[in-house]
Structure 1
């Protein structure tokens, strides 16, 4: 079927001073070709596009059955500039012209296209203004403790809770999965537990993860990091104070009962809870699920894991942590069967998200990478040994100084009740600072000696891991191909 002209007419209600649908069609026929199709909506408002005939017309546009749309007046088509801008993008993509008789608006003419550009500018302004208004409203709801919007977090459902003014507002209520959240925190807080062991335990009991069938490190980390689950008290306040958050609530409001929320702009490439500087923290109207002591033990453990940098804890190869699937990006794990080693995509084995088959031999890959590392190390010049701990100590000292500065600022707003918590934490930080300064002084006085050039073959297993992690960004495996990305 060839493309035809489309005449669209709409009338919300019959009015003596408004042009009827038939009158609109009659005027539009004067601008159409011999072949045309009529779409008419009677009794529908133009404030949105939820109109049956309009939707059929746009479907025909998508199918390539329309070459031109003719309306009596622009508001018959759409009364929203933002909607019109979005619809015009669809028309332009399918080479459909647009004609409005009343405004002498015809996109096939230079003047019509100029008018369209003006409308598009206002459409963009309306979209940006709406987005800013939605974002400000979101932050304001969070600041007042109400659930700002979006799906309920794992372990909660959305209901109504009294707001600051006593009126019911959207809030979080524990659901049947709240006990799973408590289990996650209790399990991870155990000394010998890891994210992987907790995930395996949950998967072994057939407990589905949020929005997927199985648990992994990422889904667990999101729950463990979130302040939504903690019964936030003064210790939680001090923990976040040291990370540079901006608080909507005073210290004495942290009653050890209510959960919290973190909102604010952030780099999308970074995790939500990695860089908290300049983020906003607000106490919520809902009650937390996890005592602050248990929650903080998990935070300190997560912080320590992040400082280790995921250097890879595999025991079968010193390339652990560097191997990635070239198809899905998930990590590659090493399975051993007697004397044979197999490389398996964790996205395939754990989640069923990938069908990649890795045929690269582990020992052949190690030999190839080892030869290149030996060459790179041979090219390194001799140098004097410097204090390896020096930069790390300086960084730790800087972090402690910043935490002390923030806590000193917190003293200004402390009460007799909360001041002991702040003073106690400052004393601990000062003790840590003194110890670091002593180590730094000792390192500076230690005699330097000339380093001998490293031989990769002579390094032990853990040393090889460290060297490989310094030189290699990642190794992508696809089929029988290994692609090494070097940090040089």
Structure 2
């Protein structure tokens, strides 16, 4: 070192030390203690006055938001420091743009002398070492970029092997207590996740599930994980339909490790970009599942069916499954009064609604009940053709035995109770909307009556199950009852419809075309012409 300081009493020095994880690979010479020892030796030799020592341990050189670096900048602004000393230029930073900003602009403007000991840089004197400083900064930046690529490659390799490399696992799991890069089921909140899937499988929407969890004051994943909120808003700490939807589509819950859903823009930025699902890293069977694959698949189909509809006021069996045959767009549903003044739902073409004068499509008006009855009849016909009680009985016996093992009767009662609670919440919300003038009286009476009737039916089912729980029937009788009930109610279950039917199309001539998900069933999906339809 050939640095000389002729007027040491004029300076109040800041000793700046930085160490990051990538620097540790270079050996003990980069340690905090080694850096401080070198800097102390220099200031003692030149009789400099040290104002303070600033240490950022574990911080990357590409990030200038380091706590002690910013504290040093504050002291410079307050004119407490007018000299900055580092071991080498890379300790100041590895981003050549920001390093150049501080060296060429910030330090000179604030009359701060910068000294890098090993590089021989001293902005207080003219030297050739100062002239090549920009090139040193670029080399440091290239080193940081190279390290970033290597770290990214190592992380990607761990992801492909199914090793967990994130900070916090998805809600319902926790870090393995002994094994690194593994996750295990969090028994405390796992039942919440399983209940969410059960509610979704029963046909409950994401929004309704979120409302139910908020009413029960179930802590959200962020609240449970203790994640701090920078700026609290009106919905902070509340479940949302988006959160529920994201959970219901996360393959982590069926035992697959899902990572790489977002990536950093660059090694210099903290911002992340969401990746397309095709670019995610998914490794199957890395941990214990919370939900079986079949339940996950059915819930996924239920969610997908709802994306095609914007109707929130009216609920009907074919919601999200019914399309216009001519234009291909989903059909809308509207409410009209019949000759007796009763409210009746009708399907109409959404394209016709929007571009009536252009004549793009036709009205396609038909009673919702007429089409629904036609679809139910066709599904029952298909089920009767392919399913007989004798063929179903072995499956039913197995289901009954499994149900006994899993105490499914109790689960079914809980599921019915959840539906009843949800309907009660809907009634309360509608009553509030009516009082606030948001819901017309006619709509309130119609929806109120329908939901109330549905709640009474669920109450009857729950009471029947409670009675059955107290006096259980034989497994054989239970299996036969299950088979008979399935055949009789085939087509009335939303879950069954979504599992069997891909879409239902309504033609201009009021013909219903059912497209099944299975090729062998399509042979029976002849065009069905409903009778007795009535345009409004």
Work out which of the two has the higher radius of gyration on C-alpha atoms and give 1 or 2.
Answer: 2
Structure with greater proportional helix content: 2
TM-score if structure 1 supplies the norm length? 0.46
TM-score if structure 2 supplies the norm length? 0.43
